[in-house]
């Protein structure tokens, strides 16, 4: 064992040694070096684009030339509040709420079983069971439903085999949610939305349930609560932040989606489709920008509410 | 004897908090030095100042006569045994121990040999191939010790080194650390909140409170002659008598400390007291008595007759055992 | 919470959980059947017959190969950019306490928390304003922006689990900043970075919404599929492509799961 005899050693020297010493002496410089690239990218490019877009919502479009007039005005927002556009917003919000509620109801038993009863291999299986659909291709999932909901597809075939075709037709005859066939009805749109966003609800709910300590449930039953009462008064309130965290995803994703209603659904527009149409063929960037403000405002409000419920700790 | 570590008027502030507040300190070469204090008293920050993880806000630090402020930890020939051991989980035990030599560019064969020697020193020969995760707490702590010692540091810093071990192992390690320090002759500085550990291991102890050093001295001196109420109470337990009572016994109006084991039951001629309660401790019995409104703790050796609660008794102590304190804190 | 030791799941719960899982997985399995159907003009169920000839047909389609090649190149470069940016950001946030940490986390999550169409249209209009022509690089720019978050989430989780005293121990033993990064930090966060990179790759490979706004004439594989979905022209080829996409995205996800399963919760919720 050779050992240096001085208590303070000379520096390593060289470029790296000098640089390392300099960064050690200036922790702020180190922080700056680490933060500069991501902040430049996200803060300047991304936020810059976002604000540029929002700024455009305060411009308007010249009705005759179709060109953007670069003057500050609220004209575009007045246009946004037309009844036809309000219809689009209401339709999208109602769909987002229904999808969120349905996802919560379907996700809870899966999350509850995975968190409370599954163990070992089963637990991993349940986890992957939610993870794989979450990460598998969005378009493939929609495509699968196009196959399922087609007139000649598997769902109609099953109804026919079960002699329930009349029931399906009665459902499709209902106003608003019905339509010529499932693939052009709101029911179809709703089914695909629920299917595509469901895993986003399962994982946070399961995580919240896993964090409820066993002793708390034992304490509840020790204090005389029936299993149903324990569920109602202990488990559900503790799982709620997880469900709210999941709902942030299902709600936000439904608000902004434009591909699902385009492929499976009626011809009436959702917010995402309206944005797409206005920026594309119509070339009305100001109105498209104003439309994007709607989900941003709704989500801002939603996130604020969720934060008050402590949902961020469950993310 | 050369000075290994010297602090002069060293302060370390974190915002409004004065973690270390004007500390003067000298640690001699080859000394086994303990920094003792409750949590948040600044003892660990002092250790980190020596290691170089913290820089003083004010003041001057020297290590073997060389200025230490502004010198990064990797250029100090000082090594640390961390409280959580901080063994690298991705390296084997041998690679952990050989980390320092590896960084210094020692060839593989030589540094593996050095690592094995260091492991022998801490009585873990042949453990090199294992992973840190396969070791018990006590073994991890020995590996951490070997990893520091292999570099032959000028000063070895130990941060609560025995805190995570159970009682039996702790006592055994205390002995081993002491023997190791004597045989290597390296300056050891260790931080602890356990006064028993500090008293039994160290050559000298510094007692910390609120970022300041309350007293520095040999263990016997600190125990027998605490300079302040804080030291008297923190190091061992003591009866602290207020100035009015002390005036009657010693003629001086100042706070005083009276150790429970120096109070005896007297047949006659002692001071009258009433027994309030007692608890059996095994090696001794602890009595709580009331003497003219002053509550006292008395430690009776095993085998002595224990008076029942409520009994009127007489107690006495040697005048020299009543230690009148200089400080008012 | 440990699983109930004595209790067994009520039958209703078992059925609901199994039903939910079936709802999640059966549609994907259906894709595998359709890839082998002999029917070319409709989505007929049950398939009138099974054949493997569409695999060969798809194999010989240059447009599919071109789209696949573009997707792989975009995903690879976006992943590299996202890994660098995400790791730097995670290191800064978890190693130092500084003013505005929360804001930085929010900034990283924003591109994925806001609906994709907003990110897409914002970038598109910014490219228009700055007069940047659409190209391979505009696609990468969009993808890297929303891929940062998955790398960041994985890295932050691992940094949180890695004791900060390891870095101090390394410096204490004589290693400077670079040596510590090379010998201690990198080996400890390596698998988390790899997992984050794989998830980023899968995310980019599959992305369509932002891509429709940031791609010019070029078609990534999802764009190719979207066109087929809107106007089906070659159903059998689409069926095969859908199956391949499922397989290609499953592999990195499974790998990422195995890389991070002890300890970190896989940052799946970060998608």
pLDDT digits (tens, 9 = 90+) for B273-291: 999 998 888 888 999 999 8
Substitution target from B68, B90, B98, B131 for chain C, most C beta carbons within 10 A: B90
Residues of C in contact with B145 (CB under 8 A): none
**Distance (Å, whole) CA A61 – CA A59:** 7
Tally the residues of chain B.
329
B73 and B202: one domain? yes
B224 and B84: one domain? yes
Residue appearing with tokens 């489709």? A273
B128 and B220: one domain? yes
Window A:14-33, CB contacts with B under 8 Å = 20-21, 24-25
- What's the pLDDT at B231? 93
Looking at chain C, the domain(s) classified CATH 1.10.3720.10 span 61-260
Nearest CA in chain B to A21: B72
In a domain, B329, yes or no: no
The shortest CB-CB distance from B86 to any of C169, C179, C187 is to C169
Check CB contact under 8 Å for A256 and C208.
no
Name the band, by pLDDT with cuts 50, 70 and 90, for residue B57: very high
Check CB contact under 8 Å for C169 and B88.
yes
Residue C267 vs residue A28, higher pLDDT: A28
B251 and B199: one domain? no
Rounded to the nearest integer, the mean pLDDT of chain B is 91
B56 and B203: one domain? yes
A14-39: pLDDT as tens digits: 788 888 888 888 888 888 888 899 98
B242 and B224: one domain? no
Nearest CA in chain B to C166: B86
B23 and B132: one domain? yes
Domain boundary residue among B203, B233, B263?
B233
Rounded to the nearest integer, the mean pLDDT of chain C is 84
CB-side neighbour CA atoms (13 Å) of C176: 22
Residues of A in contact with C7 (CB under 8 A): 117
A78-128: pLDDT as tens digits: 888 888 889 999 999 999 999 999 999 999 999 888 888 877 778 888 888
Check CB contact under 8 Å for B99 and C183.
yes
B233-244: pLDDT as tens digits: 899 888 999 888
B191 and B244: one domain? no
Q: Which of B315-319, C187-191, C256-260 comes out lowest in average pLDDT?
A: C256-260
B154, B79 contact by CB (below 8 A): no
Q: Is the peptide bond before C46 cis (omega within 30 degrees of 0)?
A: yes
Q: What contacts A285, CB < 8 A, 6 or more positions away? A: A56, A59, A61, A68, A278, A279, C125
In this predicted structure, the answer to whether residue C269 has a pLDDT above a threshold of 70 is: no
C117, A275 contact by CB (below 8 A): yes
Percent of chain A with pLDDT strictly greater than 70: 96
A201-235: pLDDT as tens digits: 988 888 888 888 888 888 888 888 888 888 888 88
A236-252: pLDDT as tens digits: 888 888 888 888 888 88
Substitution target from C6, C31, C43, C270 for chain A, most A beta carbons within 10 A: C43
In this predicted structure, the answer to whether residue A3 has a pLDDT above a threshold of 60 is: no
Q: What contacts B275, CB < 8 A, 6 or more positions away? A: B287, B288, B289, B307, B308, B309, B310, B311, B313
A16, C176 contact by CB (below 8 A): yes
Nearest CA in chain B to A13: B75
- The number of distinct structural domains making up chain B is 2
Check CB contact under 8 Å for A25 and B72.
yes
Q: What's B256's domain CATH number?
A: 2.40.50.140
Question: Which residue range is the domain that position B289 belongs to?
Answer: 237-324
Check CB contact under 8 Å for C173 and B84.
no
- What's the pLDDT at B250? 80
Mean pLDDT confidence for B190-211: 93
Check CB contact under 8 Å for C31 and A147.
yes
Q: Which residues pair with B257 in a beta bridge?
A: B240, B323
Percent of chain A with pLDDT strictly greater than 90: 14
Residue A306 vs residue A248, higher pLDDT: A248
In a domain, B22, yes or no: yes
Please state the ipTM of this predicted complex: 0.84
Nearest CA in chain B to A23: B72
Domain boundary residue among B233, B248, B277?
B233
Mean pLDDT confidence for B199-220: 94
Check CB contact under 8 Å for A1 and B72.
no
Mean pLDDT confidence for C35-54: 81
Percent of chain B with pLDDT strictly greater than 70: 99
Q: For chain A, say whether B63 makes contact (Cβ under 8 Å).
A: yes
Sheet bearing B239-241, strands edge to edge: B239-241, B256-258, B323-324
Name the band, by pLDDT with cuts 50, 70 and 90, for residue A1: very low
Q: Which of B45-59, B192-206, C186-200 comes out lowest in average pLDDT?
A: C186-200
B265 and B137: one domain? no
- What's the pLDDT at A312? 60
Nearest CA-CA distance, residue A312 and chain B, Å: 29
B82 and B156: one domain? yes
Strands B155-159 and B78-81: parallel
**Distance (Å, whole) CA A83 – CA B64:** 83
Alpha helices in chain C (DSSP H): 11-34, 53-59, 62-95, 101-113, 116-129, 136-161, 165-172, 177-180, 186-206, 209-214, 221-230, 235-260
Name subunits touching C (3+ CB pairs < 8 A).
A, B
pTM, rounded to two decimals: 0.80
B229 and B242: one domain? no
Nearest CA in chain B to C188: B90
Please give the CATH topology (third level) of the domain spanning C61-260. Answer: MetI-like fold (1.10.3720)
- What's the pLDDT at A313? 57
B218 and B249: one domain? no
Q: What's B153's domain CATH number?
A: 3.40.50.300
Check CB contact under 8 Å for A8 and B63.
yes
Name subunits touching A (3+ CB pairs < 8 A).
B, C
**Distance (Å, whole) CA B324 – CA B322:** 6
């Amino acid at each position: 064992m050779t050992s240096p005899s001085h208590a303070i050693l000379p520096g390593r020297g060289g470029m790296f040694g000098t640089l390392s010493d300099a960064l050690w002496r200036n922790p702020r410089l180190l922080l700056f070096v680490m933060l500069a690239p991501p902040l430049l990218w996200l803060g300047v490019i991304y936020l810059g684009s976002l604000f540029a877009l929002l700024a455009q919502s305060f411009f308007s479009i010249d009705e005759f030339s179709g060109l953007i007039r670069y003057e500050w005005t609220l004209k575009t927002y007045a246009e946004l509040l037309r009844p036809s556009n309000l219809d689009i917003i209401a339709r999208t919000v109602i769909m987002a709420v229904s999808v969120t509620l349905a996802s919560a109801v379907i996700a809870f038993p899966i999350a509850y079983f995975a968190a409370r009863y599954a163990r070992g291999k089963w637990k991993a299986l349940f986890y992957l069971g939610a993870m794989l659909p979450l990460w598998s291709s969005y378009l493939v999932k929609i495509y699968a439903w196009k196959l399922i909901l087609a007139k000649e597809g598997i769902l109609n075939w099953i109804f026919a085999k079960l002699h329930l075709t009349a029931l399906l037709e009665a459902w499709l005859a209902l106003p608003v949610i019905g339509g010529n066939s499932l693939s052009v009805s709101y029911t179809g749109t709703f089914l695909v939305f629920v299917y595509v966003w469901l895993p986003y609800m399962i994982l946070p709910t399961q995580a919240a349930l896993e964090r409820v300590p066993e002793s708390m449930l034992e304490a509840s039953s020790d204090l005389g609560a029936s299993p149903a009462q324990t569920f109602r008064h202990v488990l559900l309130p503790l799982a709620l932040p997880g469900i709210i965290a999941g709902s942030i995803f299902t709600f936000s994703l439904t608000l902004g989606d434009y591909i699902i209603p385009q492929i499976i659904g009626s011809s009436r527009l959702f917010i995402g489709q309206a944005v797409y149409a206005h920026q594309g063929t119509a070339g009305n960037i100001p109105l498209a920008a104003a439309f994007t403000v709607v989900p941003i405002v709704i989500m801002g409000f939603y996130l604020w509410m969720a934060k008050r419920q402590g949902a961020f700790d469950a993310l | 004897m050369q000075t290994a570590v010297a602090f002069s008027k060293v302060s370390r502030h974190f915002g409004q908090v004065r973690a270390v507040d004007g500390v003067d300190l000298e640690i001699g070469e080859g000394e086994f030095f303990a920094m003792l204090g409750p949590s948040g008293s600044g003892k660990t920050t002092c250790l980190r100042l020596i290691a170089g993880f913290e820089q003083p806000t004010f003041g001057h630090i020297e290590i073997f006569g060389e200025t230490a402020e502004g010198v990064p930890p990797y250029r100090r020939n000082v090594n640390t045994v961390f409280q959580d051991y901080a063994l690298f989980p991705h390296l084997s035990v041998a690679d952990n121990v050989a980390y320092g030599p590896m960084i210094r560019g020692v060839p593989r064969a030589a540094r593996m040999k050095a690592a094995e020697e260091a492991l022998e020193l801490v009585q873990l020969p042949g453990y090199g191939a294992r992973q840190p995760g396969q070791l018990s707490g006590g073994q991890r702590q020995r590996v951490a010790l070997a990893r520091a010692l292999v570099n032959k540091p000028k000063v070895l810093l130990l941060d609560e080194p025995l805190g995570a071990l159970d009682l039996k192992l702790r006592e055994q390690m205390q002995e081993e650390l002491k023997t190791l320090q004597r045989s290597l002759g390296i300056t050891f500085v260790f931080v602890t909140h356990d006064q028993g550990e500090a008293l039994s291991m160290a050559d000298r102890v510094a007692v910390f409170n609120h970022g300041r050093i309350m007293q520095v001295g040999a263990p016997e001196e600190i125990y027998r002659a605490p300079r302040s109420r804080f030291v008297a109470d923190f190091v061992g337990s003591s009866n602290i008598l207020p100035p009015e009572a002390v005036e009657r016994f010693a003629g001086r109006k100042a706070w005083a400390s009276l150790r429970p084991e120096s109070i005896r039951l007297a047949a006659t001629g002692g001071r009258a007291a009433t027994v309030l309660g007692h608890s059996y401790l095994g090696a001794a019995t602890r009595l709580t008595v009331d003497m003219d409104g002053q509550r006292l703790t008395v430690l009776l050796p095993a085998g002595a007759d224990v008076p029942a609660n409520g009994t009127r008794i007489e107690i006495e102590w040697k005048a020299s055992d009543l230690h009148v304190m200089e400080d008012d804190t | 919470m440990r699983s109930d030791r004595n209790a067994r799941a009520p039958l209703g719960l078992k059925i609901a959980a199994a039903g939910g899982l079936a709802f999640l997985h059966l549609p994907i399995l259906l894709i595998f059947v359709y890839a082998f159907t002999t029917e070319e003009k409709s989505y007929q169920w049950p398939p009138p017959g099974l054949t493997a000839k569409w695999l060969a047909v798809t194999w010989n389609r240059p447009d599919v190969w071109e789209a696949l090649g573009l997707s792989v190149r975009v995903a690879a470069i976006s992943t590299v950019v996202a890994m660098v940016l995400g790791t730097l950001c995670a290191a800064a946030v978890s190693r130092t306490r500084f003013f505005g940490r929360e804001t930085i986390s929010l900034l990283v999550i924003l591109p994925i928390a806001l609906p994709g169409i907003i990110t897409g249209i914002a970038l598109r209009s910014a490219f228009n304003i700055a007069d940047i022509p659409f190209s391979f690089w505009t696609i990468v720019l969009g993808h890297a922006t929303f891929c940062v978050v998955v790398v960041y989430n994985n890295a932050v989780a691992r940094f949180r689990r890695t004791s900060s005293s390891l870095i101090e121990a390394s410096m204490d033993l004589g290693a400077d900043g670079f040596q510590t990064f090379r010998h201690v930090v990198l080996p400890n966060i390596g698998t988390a970075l790899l997992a984050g990179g794989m998830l980023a790759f899968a995310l980019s490979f599959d992305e369509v919404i932002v891509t429709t706004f940031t791609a010019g004439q070029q078609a990534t594989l999802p764009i190719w599929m979207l066109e087929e979905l809107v106007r089906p022209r070659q159903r059998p080829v689409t069926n095969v492509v859908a199956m391949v996409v499922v397989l290609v995205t499953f592999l990195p996800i499974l790998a990422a799961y195995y890389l991070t399963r002890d300890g970190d919760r896989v940052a799946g919720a970060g998608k």
